[in-house]
Amino acid sequence: MNKTAFITGAGGYIGSETARRLARDGYAIAAADLREDTLAKTVESVRAAGGAARAYPLDVTQPDAVEATVQRIVSDFGSLDALVHVAGGSARIGGGVPKPLVDQDLGVIETVIKVNLYGALWTSRYAARAMIAQGRGGKIVAFASAVGLNGLRGSVDYAASKGGVMSMVRALAKELGPHKINVNAVAPGVVMRPEENGGDQRAFGTNFLGEKCTAADVAGLVAFLCSPDARLVTGQTYVIDGGRSLAMKGSD
């Protein structure tokens, strides 16, 4: 049976790695992103490795566009079996920089909430409708962040949006359980890009395993949640941060 995964943010660091990983696991990839150039690169890389992929330029903050994209994916591939909502980020996706809530631009706050939280709601809503109509279950994985659990100064908007994602998966898991659709979140800590190799203190010094977390590590967790092995896992948020979020200020 062919399976299709709709991945948002597929042009980004974690999204592109997730696309390649799910393709290796047998999913055809419906790759979506606001940026067409990086999206094209992801599709190319999946195909180069022998997988099937198509590009869907998409702004996840627009519910009508999300609905139309889901319909196109089902018509192009014949089914929709997994949604991974990776698109997101903190103040920079709104063209700003992290700032205290009292100083942050209203437009930046709005964009962060819209991409991270509304994006999760819109993509889940329309993907779930398609999965329910197919009647063969499905997997939904939305991206949260350890910041949504523990907070971060300068990123109140981001924390609020990712906290919303974690609450969303708990409630949605209850609604979609009867349809055999699993709904979970992943909450990375610091995910290091290859060009950030120099940041050893941030990469190694802030987690208890002394290991660098990469996009491939996160993609592996997503792959598990999108696999038959996770059939009884739903409504959960999985933190992947080498134990970093266990730290308490001022003590070990």
Ligand X SMILES: NC(=O)c1ccc[n+]([C@@H]2O[C@H](COP(=O)([O-])OP(=O)(O)OC[C@H]3O[C@@H](n4cnc5c(N)ncnc54)[C@H](O)[C@@H]3O)[C@@H](O)[C@H]2O)c1
For ligand X, which stretch binds (CB under 6 A), given 80-88, 121-129, 198-206, 230-238?
80-88
DSSP 8-state code for residue 251: B
Q: Is 86 in the site for ligand X (CB under 6 A)?
A: yes
Instruction: Please say if 158 is a catalytic residue.
Output: yes
For ligand X, which stretch binds (CB under 6 A), given 82-90, 97-105, 131-139, 226-234?
82-90
Q: Which is nearer to ligand X, 4 or 111 (CB)?
A: 111
The tokens 């991270």 sit on which residue? 116
Dmax over CA atoms of the chain, in Å, equals 55
| d(C-alpha 174, C-alpha 190), whole Å | 30
Work out which of 43, 53, 60, 176 binds ligand X, going by CB under 6 A: 60
Work out which of 7, 14, 31, 169 binds ligand X, going by CB under 6 A: 14
Tokens standing for 6?
Answer: 């709709």
In angstroms, what is the minimal distance from the CB of 105 to ligand X?
A: 17
Work out which of 52, 190, 230, 233 binds ligand X, going by CB under 6 A: 190
Tokens standing for 10?
Answer: 């597929």
The residue among 157, 165, 80, 160 whose CA lies nearest residue 120 is: 165
Using an 8 Å Cβ cutoff, are 29 and 53 in contact?
Answer: yes
Using an 8 Å Cβ cutoff, are 122 and 114 in contact?
Answer: no
Work out which of 6, 7, 13, 122 binds ligand X, going by CB under 6 A: 13
For ligand X, which stretch binds (CB under 6 A), given 33-41, 94-102, 175-183, 224-232?
33-41
Work out which of 5, 29, 55, 58 binds ligand X, going by CB under 6 A: 58
| d(C-alpha 232, C-alpha 230), whole Å | 6
Q: Is 30 in the site for ligand X (CB under 6 A)?
A: no
Using an 8 Å Cβ cutoff, are 224 and 25 in contact?
Answer: no
In angstroms, what is the minimal distance from the CB of 104 to ligand X?
A: 17
Q: Is 164 in the site for ligand X (CB under 6 A)?
A: no
Give the count of beta carbons closer than 10 Å to the beta carbon of residue 136.
Answer: 12
Cα-trace Rg, the chain: 17
Contacting residues toward ligand X, per CB under 6 A: 8-9, 11-15, 33-35, 38, 58-61, 86-89, 93, 115, 143, 145, 188, 190-191
As annotated, the active-site residues are 158
